[in-house]
Amino acid sequence: DAGVIQSPRHEVTEMGQEVTLRCKPISGHDYLFWYRQTMMRGLELLIYFNNNVPIDDSGMPEDRFSAKMPNASFSTLKIQPSEPRDSAVYFCASRDQGLNTEAFFGQGTRLTVV
């Protein structure tokens, strides 16, 4: 398996624009997580899915953020409208349902909102 695949690797956009980040989890994994990493706040969990169903979105900062998982092999994180304070690295991770399993991370998307 190619691992967790995120796209794009880098995104630069203007304030007010819509941004969509994409993630393809490892095939067969039941859990999918979206994290945001900043210098000030470290790694924050935004939302996670289990079997394509959102379980906990309490980490989503505002209504401007939304996430979907239409099927087991694809998820999106959308920011609309984007703001400069959204600039961060966004990670997607997936793991298997089994207890003794690690979470595998994608390479992350570095988002810069100017």
By CB under 8 A, name the binding residues for other proteins. Answer: 31, 33, 42-43, 45, 48, 55-56, 89, 91, 93, 95, 99-100, 102-103, 105, 107-108, 110
**Which is nearer to other proteins, 12 or 15 (by Cβ)?**
12
If the CB atoms of residues 82 and 91 are measured against other proteins, the closer one turns out to be 91
Nearest distance from C-beta of residue 89 to other proteins, angstroms: 7
Whether the CB-CB separation of 49 and 32 falls below 8 Å is answered with: yes
Which amino acid belongs to residue 110? R
- Report residue 83 as tokens: 């703001």
Minimum gap (Å) between residue 94 Cβ and other proteins: 12
Q: How far is the CB of 81 from other proteins (least distance, A)?
A: 26
Residues ≥6 apart with Cβ < 8 Å to 86: 19, 64, 79, 111, 113
Q: What region does 67 belong to: left with phi over 0, alpha with psi -120 to 50, or beta?
A: beta
